[in-house]
């Protein structure tokens, strides 16, 4: 507002000075009359930046375009046609391999590998720490949809004692947005700290965080389905 007042005063002062100094000088050929010139100045004032008239506009930060971070390369993992990748860290003990319809008992740990490798599920943490908790094994029937796609597909073919590392890209293979508390589709972190670490990455909508996950799976046993239920492998 102050700048607008100063601009108006400057224009009025110019008019007064011109009328005193050159009152009788005729207009030069091809030069616009003084009234046309002043009208031009007034109309051009409407084209001045809004920052001169809007308080705080001059100091407003111009947002920079956000850029999606590139996904990391996991060349030592084998990528499947479905899109998830795996690496077998420990072979199985020679037991029956899991197939669709079997019940698999497994242990797991998870890390936000695309974002500083922070754990959201771990065992054996320091006493009093975020992961100082005895955890039960997970159980799932392959094909039931109770686990995220990448985990359920990775469990197929595993046998007791086998450890498989799984790279889970964000999307259909990962945790669904419709289940933010992970009650319907697991595996669910066992602690509040783990749940918060996982959701911090998954719920980033700006595209500034790589939401790729690393999940380590250890097959404890494979229970075969029978007419009377599941047969526990010994």
Which region among 1-10, 27-36, 213-222 has the lowest average model confidence (pLDDT)? 27-36
> Is residue 24 scored above 90 in pLDDT?
no
Asked whether 123 and 132 are in contact (CB, 8 A), the reply is no
The Cα–Cα gap between 195 and 117 comes to: 15
pLDDT, tens digit (0-9, with 9 covering 90-100), for 126-165: 444 554 444 689 999 999 999 999 999 999 999 999 999 9
Provide the pLDDT confidence category of residue 34 given band limits of 50, 70 and 90. Answer: very low
Pairing of strands 229-231, 118-121: unpaired
Q: Which of 82, 77, 222 is nearest to 157 (CA)?
A: 222
pLDDT, tens digit (0-9, with 9 covering 90-100), for 45-67: 333 333 333 333 334 443 343 33
What pLDDT shows up at residue 38? 41
What pLDDT shows up at residue 205? 84
What pLDDT shows up at residue 68? 36
Asked whether 155 and 217 are in contact (CB, 8 A), the reply is yes
The Cα–Cα gap between 103 and 223 comes to: 5
Report residue 128 as tokens.
């009093």
Query: Residues 6 or more apart from 208 whose CB is under 8 A from it?
Result: 66, 67, 68, 69
pTM: 0.66
Asked whether 139 and 104 are in contact (CB, 8 A), the reply is yes
Average pLDDT, the chain: 76
Report residue 124 as tokens.
């054996």
Q: What three-state secondary structure class fits 18?
A: helix
Provide the pLDDT confidence category of residue 73 given band limits of 50, 70 and 90. Answer: confident
């Amino acid at each position: 507002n102050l700048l607008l007042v100063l601009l108006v005063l400057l224009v009025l002062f110019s008019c007064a000075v011109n009328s005193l100094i050159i009152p009788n000088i005729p207009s030069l050929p091809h030069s616009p009359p003084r009234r046309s010139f002043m009208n031009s100045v007034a109309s051009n004032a409407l084209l001045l930046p809004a920052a001169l008239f809007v308080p705080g506009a001059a100091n407003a930060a111009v947002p920079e375009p956000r850029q999606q971070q590139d996904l990391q390369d996991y060349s030592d993992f084998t990528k499947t046609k479905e899109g998830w990748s795996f690496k077998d860290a420990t072979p199985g003990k020679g037991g029956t391999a899991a197939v669709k319809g079997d019940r698999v008992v497994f242990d797991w740990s998870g890390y936000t590998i695309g974002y500083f490798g922070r754990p959201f599920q771990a065992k054996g943490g320091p006493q009093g720490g975020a992961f100082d908790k005895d955890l039960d094994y997970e159980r799932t029937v392959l094909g039931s949809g109770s686990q995220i796609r990448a985990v359920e597909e990775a469990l197929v073919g595993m046998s007791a004692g086998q450890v498989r590392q799984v790279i889970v890209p964000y999307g259909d293979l990962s945790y669904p947005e419709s289940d933010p508390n992970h009650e319907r589709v697991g595996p669910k972190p066992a602690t509040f700290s783990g749940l918060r670490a996982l959701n911090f990455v998954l719920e980033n909508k700006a595209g500034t965080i790589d939401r790729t996950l690393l999940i380590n799976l250890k097959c404890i046993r494979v229970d075969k389905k029978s007419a009377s239920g599941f047969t526990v492998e010994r």
